[in-house]
Amino acid sequence: MHQPYYKDLVQGTYRLPWTRLHALKDYCGMVAMLEEFPRVHQTFNLVPSLLTQLEDYAQGVARETVQDIAYKPVQDLTRDDRLFMLRYFFQANVDHLITRYPRYRQLYDRMQANDFEPERALPFFQQNDLADLQLLSQLAWIDEQYLAEDPELRALVAKEKGYQPGDQQLLRGKQSEIIRAVFEQYRAAAERGQIEISTSPFYHPILPLLCDTDVAAQAHPGVRLPQRRFRHPEDARHQLERALALHKRLFGREPRGLWPSEGSVSEEVLQIVASCGFEWTATDQRVLGNSVGSGFYRDSSGELVNAEQLYRPYTVSTPSGPVQMLFRDQELSDRIGFVYSHMNADQAAADFVGRLKQSAAPLMRQGKSAMVSVILDGENAWEYFPQNGRPFLRALYGMLSEDPQVECVTVSEALEQSGSPEPLPRLAAGSWINANFDIWIGAEEDNRAWDFLSDARDFFAEHERDAAPPQRAIALEELLIAEGSDWNWWYGPEHSTANDADFDDLYRSHLSNVYHALGYPPPEELWHPIARVQPQSVSRPPEGPLSPQIDGIVTNYFEWLGAGFYRPVHRDGAMHGKRGALSQVFFGRDTEHLYLRVDFHHLDQENPERFEMRIIVRGTGVPVVVVRFRRTEGTNGWQCDVGSEGNPPGAMGEAALRKVLEVRLGLAALGVRAEQPLEFQFALWEDNLPAETLPLEGWLVVPVPA
């Protein structure tokens, strides 16, 4: 069970809602339904960063934009709230979460008819539509067991539409109840001996890459490595020690087992794992195949070739002690994750049991036991199944419980019953995805992310002693979060999501917060997306020389006529709820000056000191130009101070902000000759952190005017 760490520690807000939504749908019910099948024992892996987020939600202290808007009185929704809802409240499985509720599907079809364009669709959503969307977008994620057993929830489902504020409050109360029950259910199942709870490194990093990014070339010779080698085994140890401490606090004992993030292992990692006291760990069959030089596949009858090697435990000796290992059956695991959602529940369960027994037949004919490891994501598969996979799981658990040849055991139970493990002289480095680390390293975006992480890690090491303990603690926490695997999962060509920009922004925010917590500005490169987004924009170059009046208003139609122009079509792509403040930009020059006009969607007029505009001209070596804002009593608009490092205010130019921001910068001060074209970017900073950058896809070009 795992979700990325969505909380921005500096802002104190959850930028994405998936921890809460999966808590409503999966975490509690998955373990609670085992009470119906006492002979089925299972191992649940609970990632610490998930548990800390669940604690926030259970205690009612989590601030999250989707949640806030979903439970806001519908009459209080702003226009931006409504656009936000239309953009994000349909992010759910259409067949099994949306279509299950006819009114939700009706609203979805209305969005589809408007090409999922919120601005275009908004006139077709009245207040009653939005009220129903608020409630149904949350109700669709409620756990099957609660829907079946709770009469108040059943009444909400039966109502179908016309939801009122009282319904919202009822659902919010049920949400809190379900999330609080997560911890209770796991503790209870562990205490009765039906489940074992294992853990992962705290923020779900790829441990072998934390220890040494060069290990990627062992798993995939020839892979492109980052420019900077990241080698911090001490961070890997810290992530494990933190995981042990949290697990003991929440469940009263330290875990015996570790699921390394994404099944990622190496011999160096196992030495650290052993030194931390873990007894067992696990990964994929392909890692075992690379370690022993064997392949695992089914023959024409369905029997597993080399079953005697895969279906047994191993022990790896390290200088810190032995660690027992088991290796998952990839096909059986993946059939649950990716195949059985398309089949009838009873047929799928029968297929699994039949394949299980046929795979183990070579050992069973010899009278030997086969220890078959089935390991898969705990929450990601079920929304693709009818009724969240509950009919399939009940059919499967029932068949496994009744079959005399099958015993469902936890990992520790299996290791206790299986006798002496086989020594494994060599462990190949790899993960459970293609037995290498290519998902997280090698692509250009991945390697840039690693280089930025290396920079932040070195900066922390250099400056941590100068920081006060609270600031040092925040910087370290943000660094550990940035070491997680989830950011690089979405970088590179392998995976994409509607929230790519959100993940990219959140990763760079965590890195920026390292510098900010230590009292330094983040490096300029963290302004810009790592992901190669393809934003839609309207853009044109300047057509001639400009000479606008710098007064913060558009004095007349002709003032900016012929200026270059850039406007991104979508500026509110982040689910954390802040619609982009920057609307569009006009730009141009004459023989002596660069001119810039910025139009805003909105800006906090009451606190101008929170903001500054930073302008960088490419390739001149001139320090960044900073436009700072302040309010003077009795004035209409903000006062603007234009400066840069080493130059007094006013030396670089002047600016004014009233209706728009207008800036004039001297070309000579920028290091640009009159006959020289230039390229520039600019960014809005808020509370000493980069909030928005334009353009997203490169630089704005200002040629020499004719």
Q: What is the pLDDT of residue 299?
A: 92
Q: What is the mean pLDDT of residues 336-356?
A: 94
> Which of 190, 218, 233 is where one domain is finished?
190
Is residue 448 located within the same domain as residue 547? no
Q: Does residue 414 contact residue 314 with C-beta atoms inside 8 Å?
A: no
- Token digits of residue 139: 């109700």
Q: What is the pTM of this model?
A: 0.81
- 654 pLDDT higher than 60: yes
Is residue 313 located within the same domain as residue 359? yes
Q: What is the pLDDT of residue 695?
A: 83
> Which of 168, 190, 212 is where one domain is finished?
190
Q: What is the mean pLDDT of residues 562-567?
A: 89
Is residue 223 located within the same domain as residue 359? yes
Q: What is the mean pLDDT of residues 591-597?
A: 93
DSSP 467-511: S-HHHHHHHHHHHHHHTBSHHHHHSSSS---TTHHHHHHHHHHHH
Q: What is the mean pLDDT of residues 199-213?
A: 98
- 106 pLDDT higher than 60: yes
> Which of 155, 190, 225 is where one domain is finished?
190
- The answer as to whether 619 is a domain residue is yes
- The answer as to whether 437 is a domain residue is no
The domain that holds 310 is classified in CATH as 3.20.110.10
Structure-model confidence comparison of residues 594 and 690, the more confident one: 594
- The answer as to whether 551 is a domain residue is yes
- Residue pLDDT, tens place only, 124-158: 999 999 999 999 999 999 999 899 999 999 999 99
Domain of 203?
199-423
Helix, strand and coil percent figures for the chain, each rounded to 5: 45, 15, 40
Is residue 249 located within the same domain as residue 398? yes
569 confidence band (pLDDT: 50, 70, 90): low
The domain that holds 583 is classified in CATH as 2.60.40
**Side chain identity at 187, as an amino acid letter?**
R
Q: What is the mean pLDDT of residues 306-311?
A: 97
Structure-model confidence comparison of residues 476 and 535, the more confident one: 476
- The answer as to whether 642 is a domain residue is yes
- The answer as to whether 431 is a domain residue is no
Arithmetic mean of pLDDT over the chain: 92
| 189-212 per-residue burial string, b: 16 or more CB within 10 A, e: under 16 | bbeeebbbbbbbbbbbbbbbbbbb
Q: What is the mean pLDDT of residues 347-355?
A: 96
Q: Does residue 529 contact residue 504 with C-beta atoms inside 8 Å?
A: yes
Is residue 85 located within the same domain as residue 112? yes
Residues 319, 321, 322, 325, Cα dihedral to 10° = -80
- Residue pLDDT, tens place only, 605-614: 667 788 888 9
- 444 pLDDT higher than 80: yes
576 confidence band (pLDDT: 50, 70, 90): very low
Distance CA 63, CA 69 (A): 11
Q: What is the pLDDT of residue 572?
A: 40
- The answer as to whether 428 is a domain residue is no
Q: Does residue 533 contact residue 501 with C-beta atoms inside 8 Å?
A: yes
Is residue 269 located within the same domain as residue 373? yes
575 confidence band (pLDDT: 50, 70, 90): very low
Structure-model confidence comparison of residues 197 and 657, the more confident one: 197
Residue 345: phi and psi, rounded to 5, are -60, -50
- 537 pLDDT higher than 70: no
Strand intervals (E) in 337-474: 422-423
- Token digits of residue 14: 């959850």
Structure-model confidence comparison of residues 465 and 617, the more confident one: 465
Most confident of 272-276, 549-553, 557-561: 272-276
Which residues, 6+ apart, have CB-to-CB distance to 616 below 8 Å?
Answer: 524, 624, 625, 680, 681, 682
536 confidence band (pLDDT: 50, 70, 90): low
Is residue 295 located within the same domain as residue 347? yes
Q: What is the mean pLDDT of residues 554-566?
A: 86
Distance CA 414, CA 533 (A): 47
Is residue 484 located within the same domain as residue 397? no
CB atoms within 10 A of CB 154: 13
634 confidence band (pLDDT: 50, 70, 90): low
CA atoms within 13 A on the CB side of 426: 7
Is residue 682 located within the same domain as residue 625? yes
Report cis status (omega within 30 of 0) of the bond before 695. Answer: yes
Is residue 497 located within the same domain as residue 600? no
Percent of the chain's residues with pLDDT above 90: 73
Rounded to the nearest 10 degrees, the angle between the axes of helix 127-139 and helix 79-88 is 40
Distance CA 328, CA 369 (A): 16
Q: What is the pLDDT of residue 578?
A: 45
- The answer as to whether 375 is a domain residue is yes
Nearest one of 639, 673, 638, 668 to 653, comparing CA atoms: 668
650 confidence band (pLDDT: 50, 70, 90): confident
Q: What is the pLDDT of residue 697?
A: 63
685 confidence band (pLDDT: 50, 70, 90): confident
- 659 pLDDT higher than 90: no
Distance CA 57, CA 174 (A): 13
Q: What is the mean pLDDT of residues 229-256?
A: 98
Is residue 25 located within the same domain as residue 112? yes
- The answer as to whether 338 is a domain residue is yes
636 confidence band (pLDDT: 50, 70, 90): low
- 344 pLDDT higher than 60: yes
Structure-model confidence comparison of residues 412 and 606, the more confident one: 412
Count of domains observed in the chain: 4
Is residue 462 located within the same domain as residue 419? no
